[in-house]
Amino acid sequence: MKIALYARVSTEDQAAEGYSLDAQLDMLRAYADNPDDSNEKHTVYEEYVDDGYSGRNEKRPAYTKMMADIKHWDAIAVIKMDRIHRNSRNFMAMMDLLKKHKKEFISTTDMLDTSNAMGMFVVDMMQRLAQLESEQIGERTYFGMEEKAKTSKGKIMGFPPPFGYGTHKGELVTRDDEMEVVKEIFTSYSSGMTMDEICYKLNRNGTLTRRENPWNKFNLRNILHNPVYAGYMRWDGIFIPHNAARAVTENEFNNIQILMASKVRDPAKRQASLINDTGTFTTLA
């Protein structure tokens, strides 16, 4: 039988399980030389390796290429089911595709036979357990980030600093040249200039974004809506005061939000998110 060997690791996999790519490939090659079901060696069509890709995402380069090569091999071999997918729905969709093309699936350490109903049932249950484990890891990561946000005391949360700011020792610091542009944007908008007019003015004067691109309404709107310029970093609904210079006061920021909301055509969408006295957002309809 001609088999495709598939190996995958992501950062959390390497830390938690220790299945390196080399270890996986050594085990798969050993299986190909000494398969359990016969005395004949399997022929390895190709080795497909995804380094640093989550099993929750099926859009992995090596996996995508392997499935595109489906006509050239007879079976996929992995050391464990969770190497191929950590999402039950994606796994079963793959199994349906393999069945359609009369291909086999081999999990060398799980010792599964997918050619009968009981085997498919066991595969489904094991895949659901793998998905549960993956989702629990995601929940623990989220709660850890949430706790970090609540206790960060002005430290950034890993995101790149917005226009107007840089970082030093994990905290925001002001970039004076960029901050002058930010202040100009807020002042121009509060004075009645439209976003198109502000973009035209900045671009005409040769004032570009940090990536040296022309200004447009999208990146301009991001600045006008970002509470970081009023003294607060935001992470998933949590507001973290920072110590860097502000472009506007909280009151000035709120007035801008009200002004922007008033210009929305659909009355049902005229909502302004305002900073309140507790340093959180209040939505004003």
pLDDT at 15: 41
pLDDT of 46 over the 80 cut: yes
Whole-model pTM above 0.75?
Answer: no
Alpha carbon distance 204, 197 (integer Å): 10
The predicted-structure confidence for 193-203, as pLDDT tens digits, reads as follows: 999 999 999 99
Pick from 248, 246, 227, 239: nearest CA to 278? 239
**Mean local confidence (pLDDT), 101-126:** 72
Tokens (6 digits) for 272: 């302004």
The full set of domains in the chain, from first to last, is 2-143 (3.40.50.1390), 154-284 (3.90.1750.20)
Tokens (6 digits) for 135: 């989702």
pLDDT at 215: 93
Confidence of residue 147 (pLDDT cuts 50, 70, 90): low
CB of 10 closer than 8 Å to CB of 55: yes
**Mean local confidence (pLDDT), 93-105:** 88
Pick from 179, 156, 174: nearest CA to 244? 174
To the nearest whole percent, how much of the chain has pLDDT over 90? Answer: 36
Range with the largest mean pLDDT of 78-82, 108-112, 143-147, 276-280: 78-82
DSSP 8-state assignment for residue 173: E
